[in-house]
């Protein structure tokens, strides 16, 4: 689905949802995954507060691919030398980071699953 980005009322402004430090460590797909998880948990009225419920709550996320802006920006940085490459590059491009970040944010300790299977990603995640 197309997610409008920016400051208009119908758009999502990642700078209002996350700190600059958080945005440095995650790609946009992970940030949008965290926002979607928050909305899904609210819609489901599910926010486990005891350890047993958190242990029994898992996360399944499907991401087709990460934003190539990160890959291209790192390529440009690498042209200027290895020291210019962010240590967050690899964590930013891992497609399973959204599932991990959701589990960390909410303290979920159940199964953690991430799938990336092109056009079938959404169906496989479900």
pLDDT digits (tens, 9 = 90+) for 16-39: 999 999 999 999 999 999 999 999
The model's pTM is 0.88
Mean pLDDT, range 67-93, rounded to an integer: 94
How many domains does the chain contain in total? 1
Has residue 9 been placed in a domain?
Answer: no
Has residue 33 been placed in a domain?
Answer: yes
Has residue 6 been placed in a domain?
Answer: no
Mean pLDDT, range 92-113, rounded to an integer: 96
CATH of the domain at 93: 3.40.47.10
Has residue 5 been placed in a domain?
Answer: no
Has residue 86 been placed in a domain?
Answer: yes
Has residue 63 been placed in a domain?
Answer: yes
Alpha-carbon distance 68 to 75, whole Å?
11
Mean pLDDT, range 107-121, rounded to an integer: 93
| Containing structural domain, residue 41 | 14-125
Mean pLDDT, range 108-122, rounded to an integer: 93
Residue 1: predicted pLDDT: 67
Q: Please write the tens of the pLDDT for every residue from 61-78.
A: 999 888 899 999 999 999
């Amino acid at each position: 689905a197309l997610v409008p980005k920016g400051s208009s009322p119908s758009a999502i402004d990642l700078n209002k949802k996350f700190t600059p430090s958080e945005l440095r460590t995650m790609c946009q797909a992970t940030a949008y995954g965290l926002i979607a998880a928050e909305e899904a948990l609210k819609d489901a009225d599910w926010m486990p507060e005891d350890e047993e419920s958190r242990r029994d709550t898992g996360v399944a996320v499907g991401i087709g691919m990460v934003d190539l802006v990160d890959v291209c920006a790192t390529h440009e940085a690498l042209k200027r030398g290895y020291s210019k490459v962010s240590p967050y590059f690899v964590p930013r491009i891992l497609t399973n980071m959204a599932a991990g970040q959701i589990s960390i944010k909410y303290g979920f300790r159940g199964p953690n699953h991430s799938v990336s299977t092109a056009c079938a990603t959404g169906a496989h995640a479900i």
